[in-house]
Structure 1
Amino acid sequence: MSLDVSWVLSPLLALPGVTRGVVLSRDGLILGGSSDVSTETGERAAAMTSSVLAAARALCDGLSDGSEDEVVDIVISAGSGYYYVAPAGDRAAIVVAATGAVNIGSLAYEVQLQVQKLIKALDEASAARVPRT
């Protein structure tokens, strides 16, 4: 049984300019998506976002002179607006698409709030699966 965490996107989708979103596992599997994201689109976005995050981590590792440097977020500016990617710990990430009218500062703040909720939900789900002896 897979965990659907689409609920973390609801506050983000309520922001003016945010059009859709996907929650993914670190290995690129879809954990949830906005209602207008088809399974195929969500899976493709999850796989690509996972690759983008891996590349960003490698870039930070390569340019940080050996110091621990964590990727907090990635903002991609495109002709149609923005794609905002935020890792949620070491197990998941959130990616949202927004028009150019979005307040990117508000989006960044709200995404980080949802990241913390997602981390907590994944921790609780993981703890519930561990058999007690």
Structure 2
Amino acid sequence: MSLDVSWVLSPLMALPGVTRGVVLSRDGLILGGSADVTTETGERAAAMTSSVLGAARALCDGLSGGSEGGVVDIVISADSGYYYIAPAGDRAAIVVAATGAVNVGALAYEVQLQVQKLIKALDEASAARVQGVRT
């Protein structure tokens, strides 16, 4: 995908305590990043986040016997703050870094709002690529 969806991060970057964000494809390619994320940092974060999501899906599937739904979000608590990961359907995900001062509940809510917008944008971009479909 060559679609730049960095815009989805703007509302998240406005939250107190959020420092960086990356949007990635399911296979770990960077689709967008916050202004201070270099290409190298974004690519590394995208690849690692894709791996974390894959491991989380496998863990949930393995422990639930395959009866549970998909991963909704992952919150990593670290000495430096929080890392919040949310899949956006089966094609993408958002990951944001935040300080320990962030309101995790507000962050979770806002990320899920942006996930829905990202899913819609990716669906529209896919439909536009299908011959004969106009959006």
Q: TM-score, normalized by length of structure 1?
A: 0.96
Misfit runs of 4+, over 4 Å: none
Equivalent in the alignment of 1:122: 122
Instruction: Show CA shifts across 1:34-93 (max 9, x none).
Output: 010000000000000000000000000000122032100000000010000000000000
Greater shift in the superposed pair: 28-37 or 63-72: 63-72
Q: TM-score, normalized by length of structure 2?
A: 0.95
**Unaligned 5+ residue runs, structure 2?**
none
Equivalent in the alignment of 1:36: 36
Q: What is the RMSD of the two structures over their aligned residues, measured on CA atoms?
A: 1.7
Tell me, what secondary structure is at the counterpart of 2:65? Answer: coil
Q: How does 1:45-60 map to 2 (within 5 A)?
A: 45-60=45-60
Q: How does 1:56-75 map to 2 (within 5 A)?
A: 56-75=56-75
Report the Cα offset of residue 108 of structure 1.
0.1
Report the Cα offset of residue 122 of structure 1.
0.1
Distance 1:92 1:65 in 2: 25
Report the Cα offset of residue 95 of structure 1.
0.1
Distance 1:66 1:113 in 2: 27
Greater shift in the superposed pair: 13-22 or 60-69: 60-69
Q: How does 1:1-133 map to 2 (within 5 A)?
A: 2-130=2-130
Tell me, what secondary structure is at the counterpart of 1:76? Answer: strand
Greater shift in the superposed pair: 59-68 or 12-21: 59-68
Instruction: Show CA shifts across 1:87-133 (max 9, x none).
Output: 00000000000000000000000000000000000000000000x89
Distance 2:66 2:12 in 1: 35
Count of residue pairs brought into register by the alignment = 132
